[in-house]
Chain A
Amino acid sequence: MSKRFSELKEPPATDHQLILDFLGGNPEAFNQLLLQYKNPVYNLCCRMLENAGDAEDCAQETFIKAYFGLKGFRFKSSFKTWLYRIAVNTCKNKMTSAEYRSRQNIIELDKPISHLDDMYLEIEDKSKSPETAALEKETAAAIMNAINSLPPLEKTLIVLCDIEDGSYEEIAAITGLKLGTVKSKLARTRHHLRSKLEGVI
């Protein structure tokens, strides 16, 4: 099982050292960074894009960009924040592409209620009864549908904060927004979700 966003807070020296090793000519150091961040980045892309194929493409593109852009890394932020910023921007570009939007429209016509794979809605706690698991799965589907209906920025904030459990400071660094803006936008978006999920939660 993959780690959560908040559980990835390894000592900065580790990432820092791996980056220095990579820049010093050791490609294995990047492989270690890749192993460490592949699941959270892939999960973030899945939640942002709702499609496994697009998510895989964007996650791979994120690491490729990181590989070729690591020479320009200035250590002003953590590697995780830097990597997530790349992932978010890559997903945003994908979401705003005409090809993605036209495909989304076709999918919505085909599956107006829920187009998420079962894998996306798996519930972590396997000890729950099948009825409870099914109910929670249905609730999770409703939540994800509500989140997916949000505009890209609000969706990004909700995914980073409520699904990936990122802190406001990290989200501000990833999205480039001010801390107060992040907080106020999240509060308004949650209020909006509350109206959408009325009767479900």
Chain B
Amino acid sequence: MKCSKTRTYLKDYLNARLNSRLTEQVAGHITACNDCRKELDFLKSYLEQTKAISKIPAPPDFLSEIQKKIRDREYSTPSPRPRFLPLPVPVATLASILIVAVFVFFINNHFQFIQNNQSSERFEPPSLVKTAPETAIEKIIQPQPPANGISQAKTETSSDSNLSRADNKVSGTITLTLLQKSAVPPQMSQQPKSPDAPLITKRAVKKGSGQTALGTGKSRQSTEISRPDDINQVINQIKTKVNILGGRLENTPEQPEDKSAQLVITLPVENYQSFLTEISKYGQIQKPYPVINFVNKTLVEIKLTISNGNE
């Protein structure tokens, strides 16, 4: 038996816990090995000394201290938190994926809903941005209650409900008050910058850039207007303009006797601004302009009420 092996048995050898075969082997090695014999002698004295060391009793209040600490921890220990996912890992993973998918779906729909609401409230048609000044369009669609007494401009703010029925058409009402030929000096149509020009001309001059729905001074200068004598002539000319702009007249107005008439006109949306410019040459368009939402629309239905200004 080697020394290292013998030394693992020395304590059991001293305490007589080895079987006879191991006892003989250890005894034989110790007899032959001086170092292991010294080790055995040391172990014998060492164990006697360690056995003599007294055991230290626990303090008198040891038990009460433990009981107090246990009580404190029992009262302060929060109730066990429910496990977030008390499920097997694959099920928990699938459940997590499902929850995330539902969440993403909800968020996506929610934002689409918000975008639809926002887009229905604001008018930013790309085509009109190209064809007409943006500020003029914004002025046109400003919702305002009728204020002055020239005529009743019926603003169809309820056009949204109509939109739901007519998918690609939007409608609005415009009142045009004709200017009497006697009220406008003949040169005014060609000299719009005169300070004596009527309101429509003044507005066109003030704006300068021509960004009003009433048309630009430049276009007024370049267009020879033969102001009609009566309302029927205006209606006929507007019919012609509508045909030129790709629209059509939906009704046949009764022949008024210089009073008022109502036309129902359908136009492509992109020509709405041009139409306003054209009819503004015949008179003053009643403000405020109707709120018309052009988003996703291709046609605009205009209920144009024409009245004489001296009424």
The yes or no verdict on A and B being binding partners is yes
Q: Could you tell me if B52 and A124 are in contact, using CB atoms closer than 8 angstroms?
A: yes
Chain B, 36-47, contact with A by CB distance < 8 Å: what is the 0/1 string? 001100110111
Chain A, 154-186, contact with B by CB distance < 8 Å: what is the 0/1 string? 000000011101000000000000000001101
Is B8's beta carbon under 8 Å from chain A?
A: yes
Chain B residues with CB under 8 Å of A184's CB are 4, 8
Q: Could you tell me if A187 and B7 are in contact, using CB atoms closer than 8 angstroms?
A: yes
Taken together as a complex, chains A and B put the C-alpha atoms of A92 and B43 apart, in Å, by 26
Is A123's beta carbon under 8 Å from chain B?
A: yes
Chain B, 191-207, contact with A by CB distance < 8 Å: what is the 0/1 string? 00000000000000000
Chain B residues with CB under 8 Å of A1's CB are 54-55, 57
Contacting B at CB under 8 A, from A31-86, are: 31, 34-35, 38-43, 46, 56, 59-60, 63-64, 67-68
- Contact status of A42 and B73, CB under 8 A, knowing A123-B53, A191-B7: no
Is B51's beta carbon under 8 Å from chain A?
A: yes
- Total residues of chain A contacting the partner, CB 8 A: 47
Chain B residues with CB under 8 Å of A59's CB are 58, 62
- Contact status of A124 and B53, CB under 8 A, knowing A162-B47, A201-B42: yes
24 contacts between A and B (CB under 8 A): A1-B57, A3-B55, A34-B63, A34-B66, A35-B63, A38-B62, A39-B55, A42-B62, A43-B56, A60-B65, A67-B70, A119-B56, A120-B56, A124-B51, A139-B49, A140-B49, A143-B50, A143-B53, A187-B4, A187-B7, A190-B42, A190-B43, A194-B43, A197-B46
Chain B residues with CB under 8 Å of A186's CB are 8, 11
Is B10's beta carbon under 8 Å from chain A?
A: yes
Taken together as a complex, chains A and B put the C-alpha atoms of A140 and B56 apart, in Å, by 14
Interface size class of B (residues with CB under 8 A): 20 to 34
Which residue of chain B has its CB nearest to the CB of A167? B17
Q: Could you tell me if B56 and A46 are in contact, using CB atoms closer than 8 angstroms?
A: yes
Taken together as a complex, chains A and B put the C-alpha atoms of A11 and B8 apart, in Å, by 29
Is A136's beta carbon under 8 Å from chain B?
A: yes
Q: Could you tell me if A2 and B7 are in contact, using CB atoms closer than 8 angstroms?
A: no
Is A10's beta carbon under 8 Å from chain B?
A: no
Chain A binding surface, main DSSP class: helix
Is A110's beta carbon under 8 Å from chain B?
A: no
Is B59's beta carbon under 8 Å from chain A?
A: yes
Which residue of chain B has its CB nearest to the CB of A128? B52
Q: Could you tell me if B39 and A194 are in contact, using CB atoms closer than 8 angstroms?
A: yes
Which residue of chain B has its CB nearest to the CB of A68? B73
Taken together as a complex, chains A and B put the C-alpha atoms of A61 and B6 apart, in Å, by 39
Is A122's beta carbon under 8 Å from chain B?
A: yes
Chain B residues with CB under 8 Å of A20's CB are none
- Contact status of A60 and B47, CB under 8 A, knowing A34-B63, A120-B56: no
Taken together as a complex, chains A and B put the C-alpha atoms of A119 and B58 apart, in Å, by 12
Chain B residues with CB under 8 Å of A144's CB are 53
Chain A residues with CB under 8 Å of B58's CB are 2, 38-39, 41-42, 56, 59
Chain A residues with CB under 8 Å of B56's CB are 2, 39, 42-43, 46, 119-120
Contact among B7, B42, B53 for A163, CB-based, below 8 A? B53
Chain A, 127-165, contact with B by CB distance < 8 Å: what is the 0/1 string? 000000000100110011000000000000000011101
Chain B residues with CB under 8 Å of A163's CB are 50, 53
Q: How far is the CB of B182 from chain A (nearest CB, A)?
A: 105
Q: Could you tell me if B46 and A64 are in contact, using CB atoms closer than 8 angstroms?
A: no
Which residue of chain A has its CB nearest to the CB of B51? A165
Q: Could you tell me if A136 and B62 are in contact, using CB atoms closer than 8 angstroms?
A: no
Which residue of chain A has its CB nearest to the CB of B7? A187
Q: Could you tell me if B55 and A162 are in contact, using CB atoms closer than 8 angstroms?
A: no
Chain A residues with CB under 8 Å of B53's CB are 120-124, 140, 143-144, 163
Chain B, 13-44, contact with A by CB distance < 8 Å: what is the 0/1 string? 00000000000000000000000001100110
Is B69's beta carbon under 8 Å from chain A?
A: yes
Chain B residues with CB under 8 Å of A162's CB are 46-47, 50
Q: How far is the CB of A34 from chain B (nearest CB, A)?
A: 6
Is A95's beta carbon under 8 Å from chain B?
A: no
Chain A residues with CB under 8 Å of B63's CB are 31, 34-35, 38
Chain B residues with CB under 8 Å of A4's CB are 55
Taken together as a complex, chains A and B put the C-alpha atoms of A101 and B62 apart, in Å, by 25
Q: Could you tell me if A64 and B49 are in contact, using CB atoms closer than 8 angstroms?
A: no
Taken together as a complex, chains A and B put the C-alpha atoms of A64 and B67 apart, in Å, by 8
Which residue of chain A has its CB nearest to the CB of B38? A194
Chain A residues with CB under 8 Å of B42's CB are 190, 194, 197, 201
Q: How far is the CB of A172 from chain B (nearest CB, A)?
A: 13
